[in-house]
Amino acid sequence: MSSYVLMKILESSPERYDRGIRMLNGGKVDAVYEAIADIAARPGGRVLDIGCGTGNVSIACAQRGAEVTGVDIDAGMLEVARSKPPPPIGSVEFVQAAAAELEDHFAPESFDSVVSCLALSEMSPDERSYALRAAHRLLRPDGRLVIADEVLPAGRFRRLAHRLARFPSVTITWLLTQTTTRAVPDPVELVMAAGYQHVEMAERFGRTLMMVSARRPPGPGGSNA
Amino acid sequence: MRDLLLRLFPHRHPTGLVEIGAPGRESPVIVTGNYTLTVRRMKRALRGRDVHLLVADSGGINVWCAAGGGHFTHHDVVSVIRTSGISDLVDHRRVMLPQLGATGIERRYVADKTGWDPHWGPAHLEDLPHVLDRAGRVPVADRKVRFGLRDRAEMITVWALPMALIGGGIGLAFGGPAQAAAVALTMVAITCAVFALVGRVPLSGPGRFVTLGVVASVAVGGAWVAMEAVTTTFSSRDAVLLGVAATATAGLLAVDLPGTTPWYPSAMAKDAFTVELLSESCTGAADCVTVCPRGVLRMNGVIRKVEIVDPDSCIQCGACIVQCPENALRFRRADGRVVEPETIRTTRLNLLGSRTIEVSH
Ligand SMILES: C[S@@+](CC[C@H](N)C(=O)[O-])C[C@H]1O[C@@H](n2cnc3c(N)ncnc32)[C@H](O)[C@@H]1O
Ligand code: SF4
């Protein structure tokens, strides 16, 4: 069963994810987790973390007293998430599901905030918009969406320069931890297309990480069809 | 060449709908993983046909390894069916799943969540045209894994190069260029012979030492003769060198040779499992028969129950157990303890081929 040994060694490794993600972003990523939690979490608030991975954002939200549900498709990632010590306040629960299965697990309007960090970029464009629309229905009216992801600089030339500049660190990180990240073409556009309001780029972290915040329109049954 | 490079490294094809030919509202819908090499082979195999191909996220890994390692599951299949918009493009609801994904993809879960009617395809995608001609029915022979010439050649290239380098290095360190060449060639010869023999002579269990011993001796003999021919003086140091190289190669290959083939359970898995069928629970659904890659199980039409007909071929993949709706199949460990079906469904193989990774359900 362990056919094709090489492939197994090279495949992505949840245990090494936390180390890899820090190497790639020079430690910046912790600031992103905190920034997301600062706007998405408050004591008693219900937070959904889509593509929670090893649970970093979920735990940051719980540390602010929120009741968090982290969802990820990868069992290995969740195993690492569950092995972390539970925060002293708030609560975290992890569920294995695809972003396209959110509505099988949760009722409409059952969250105050939905967050997603570095996960939309791992999905296909179809999955991305499907997930954002589902999240819209799961948010209470006026509820908040916060996403953070990698973006590529505008312009062909700058993009190329950016890729070249990052090539050494990306290669080393992948060799050591088999962790890498991808980029979302245009997060603001993406979120607006899914029917959210007050879409704004909340913060940038260096040149490539950006955080977008938005709200589900107030009023019951706000539709995003 | 391009295919070989792709074979060596996991590489992700974009997920979602890929149209092959000009598929219409009645054309078949087939799911596969997003290992780029698989998608390329799929397109080649289906050239001239009209098919909706749904590329699901298997982490850029081939279907078998991805499903066994927990990277390709029913969640990925549900996701691609829902988000690709395929439901609006066809009038039927039949979807073919890759048979070798059956260790990770629960067919009934996909049916429940999507309302589609999933059925298993053949083990090898080269058989797809043949299966499509039979309206999606998979002949028994097409369910068995093969380790064909091409797979053998690929495994040889994967193993021979490092072996040659190691051998060449040792040869250089303890002799000269002639010794280096001889040792490297010996190691390559052993590697070729071993992968040519997989499935034909015992290469797992105690028998593998005999086989490897014979292969190594023949290779050393050959190298000896060759060295006698090129170098006039053949020292006893050279003989020792060759012997050591042969033993090392055989040893390295023996570590997990079975695990690199689809023919044997990994030698590194700590427990030997035996598959067990609780006949009284069997309702003859026969899902297990359609997923077993080794022809271990057969439907007995007279008693309308499944039977284990070839237990020795079982590679302990667990596919049959994962799919059984009645939990009528399970593993028993060598020490007599039972491994419940739910444990098989919620644990995945780790790097060494043991079941350790817990999966929530
Ligand atoms: C780069 S990690 C980010 C993890 C975490 N949010 C963080 O920032 O550290 C991306 C995660 O998204 C998950 N993911 C990718 N596609 C998904 C999908 N379709 N549904 C749910 N999770 C998905 C992956 O399993 C992975 O754990
Ligand atoms: S009988 Fe053995 S080889 Fe066949 S599916 Fe079951 S576990 Fe796999």
- Residue A170 banded pLDDT, cuts 50, 70, 90: low
Nearest CB neighbour to B16, from listed A3, A78, A124: A124
So what's the pLDDT on residue B120? Answer: 97
Segment A25-46 mean pLDDT: 89
Ligand 2 centre to CA of B297 (Å) is 8
- Residue A220 banded pLDDT, cuts 50, 70, 90: low
Model pTM above 0.80: yes
Is A71's pLDDT higher than 90? yes
Segment B294-316 mean pLDDT: 92
Distance CA A111, CA A90 (A): 15
* Three-state secondary structure readout of chain A: CCCCHHHHHHCCCHHHHHHHHHHHHCCHHHHHHHHHHHHHCCCCCEEEEECCCCCHHHHHHHCCCCEEEEEECCHHHHHHHHHCCCCCCCEEEEEECCHHHHHHHCCCCCEEEEEEECCHHHCCHHHHHHHHHHHHHHEEEEEEEEEEEECCCCCHHHHHHHHHHHHHHHHHHHHHHCCCCCCCCCHHHHHHHCCCEEEEEEEEECCCEEEEEEECCCCCCCCCC
Return the exposure string of A117-146: e unless at least 16 CB atoms fall within 10 Å of the residue's CB, then b: bbbbbbbbebbbbbbbbbbbbbbbeebbbb
Ligand 2 centre to CA of B196 (Å) is 24
Is B145's pLDDT higher than 60? yes
Distance CA B106, CA A125 (A): 25
Q: Any chain B CB within 8 A of the CB of A41?
A: no
Question: What is the side-by-side strand order in the sheet with B329-333?
Answer: B273-277, B329-333, B338-339
So what's the pLDDT on residue B204? Answer: 65
CATH number of the domain within which A135 lies: 3.40.50.150
Ranking A209-213, B80-84, B237-241, B317-321 by mean pLDDT, the lowest is B237-241
Are A75 and B357 within 8 A, CB to CB? yes
So what's the pLDDT on residue B170? Answer: 83
B172-201: pLDDT as tens digits: 887 778 778 888 888 888 888 888 877 776
Pick the residue from chain A with its C-alpha nearest to B351: A8
Is A36's pLDDT higher than 70? yes
So what's the pLDDT on residue A15? Answer: 67
* Probe target for ligand 2 pocket from B277, B288, B289, B294, with the most ligand atoms within 8 Å of CB: B294
**Topology adopted by domain B2-142:** Rossmann fold (3.40.50)
Q: Output the CATH code of domain B273-358.
A: 3.30.70.20
**CB of B297 closer than 6 A to ligand 2?**
yes
Is B348's pLDDT higher than 90? no
- Residue A1 banded pLDDT, cuts 50, 70, 90: very low
Could you tell me if B50 and B89 are in contact, meaning their C-beta atoms sit under 8 angstroms apart?
no
**CB of A53 closer than 6 A to ligand 1?**
yes
How many Cα atoms are found within 13 Å in the side-chain-facing hemisphere of A99?
Answer: 30
Reduced to 3 states, what is the DSSP secondary structure of residue B338?
strand
Distance CA A108, CA A127 (A): 19
Domain span at A192 = 3-215
User: How much of chain A, in percent, has pLDDT values that exceed 90?
Assistant: 53
Are A76 and B353 within 8 A, CB to CB? no
Question: What is the side-by-side strand order in the sheet with B16-20?
Answer: B16-20, B51-56, B29-33, B94-97, B117-120
Domain assignment present for residue A30? The answer is: yes
Q: How far is A125 from chain B (nearest CA, A)?
A: 9
Is B76's pLDDT higher than 70? yes
Is B355's pLDDT higher than 60? no
Q: Among A153, A141, A126, which Cα is nearest to A208's? A: A153
Are B70 and A95 within 8 A, CB to CB? no
Ligand 1 centre to CA of A64 (Å) is 22
Pick the residue from chain B with its C-alpha nearest to A100: B79
Distance CA B297, CA B318 (A): 12
Count Cβ–Cβ pairs < 8 Å, chain A vs chain B.
115
Question: What is the side-by-side strand order in the sheet with A91-96?
Answer: A91-96, A67-72, A46-50, A111-117, A139-150, A209-215, A197-205
Distance CA B33, CA B89 (A): 21
Partners of A94 on chain B (C-beta within 8 Å) are 360
Pick the residue from chain B with its C-alpha nearest to A129: B83
Ligand 1 centre to CA of B334 (Å) is 38
Distance CA A115, CA A58 (A): 9
Domain assignment present for residue A18? The answer is: yes
Are B260 and A5 within 8 A, CB to CB? yes
Domain assignment present for residue A222? The answer is: no
Is A191's pLDDT higher than 80? yes
User: How much of chain B, in percent, has pLDDT values that exceed 70?
Assistant: 85
- Residue whose CA is closest, atom 2 of ligand 2? B314
Structure-block tokens of residue A39: 């706007």
**Per-chain mean pLDDT for chain B:** 84
The larger pLDDT score, comparing residue B258 to residue A132, is at: A132
- Residue B361 banded pLDDT, cuts 50, 70, 90: very low
Domain assignment present for residue A221? The answer is: no
Is B158's pLDDT higher than 90? no
Q: Any chain B CB within 8 A of the CB of A100?
A: yes
So what's the pLDDT on residue A162? Answer: 72
The larger pLDDT score, comparing residue B209 to residue A177, is at: B209
The Cα-based distances of B27 to B77, B84, B236 in angstroms read: 19, 16, 69
Structure-block tokens of residue A143: 């509820």
Is A73's pLDDT higher than 80? yes
Q: Any chain B CB within 8 A of the CB of A154?
A: no
Nearest CB neighbour to A98, from listed B68, B71, B79: B79
Nearest CB neighbour to A8, from listed B351, B357, B358: B351
Is B1's pLDDT higher than 60? no
The larger pLDDT score, comparing residue B67 to residue B206, is at: B67
Segment A2-20 mean pLDDT: 53
Q: Where are the domains of chain B?
A: 2-142, 149-260, 273-358
**CB of B314 closer than 6 A to ligand 2?**
yes
Could you tell me if B118 and B141 are in contact, meaning their C-beta atoms sit under 8 angstroms apart?
no
Q: How many degrees, rounded to 5, is the angle at CA A85 between CA A83 and CA A89?
A: 135
Is B311's pLDDT higher than 60? yes
Reduced to 3 states, what is the DSSP secondary structure of residue B348?
strand
B41, amino acid identity: R
* Ligand found nearest the CA of A94: 1
- Residue A26 banded pLDDT, cuts 50, 70, 90: low
Are B83 and A96 within 8 A, CB to CB? no
Reduced to 3 states, what is the DSSP secondary structure of residue B223?
helix
So what's the pLDDT on residue A9? Answer: 44
Distance CA B148, CA B238 (A): 36
Is B203's pLDDT higher than 70? no
Partners of A72 on chain B (C-beta within 8 Å) are none
**CB of B275 closer than 6 A to ligand 2?**
yes
Q: How far is B49 from chain A (nearest CA, A)?
A: 25
Are B348 and A100 within 8 A, CB to CB? no
Q: Sign of torsion, CA B194 B195 B200 B205?
A: positive
So what's the pLDDT on residue B256? Answer: 63
Is B278's pLDDT higher than 90? yes
Domain assignment present for residue A206? The answer is: yes
Segment A196-224 mean pLDDT: 81
Nearest CB neighbour to B75, from listed A5, A98, A124: A98
Partners of B76 on chain A (C-beta within 8 Å) are 73, 98
So what's the pLDDT on residue B284? Answer: 94
The ipTM estimated for the assembled molecules is 0.82
Segment A127-135 mean pLDDT: 96
The larger pLDDT score, comparing residue B207 to residue B173, is at: B173
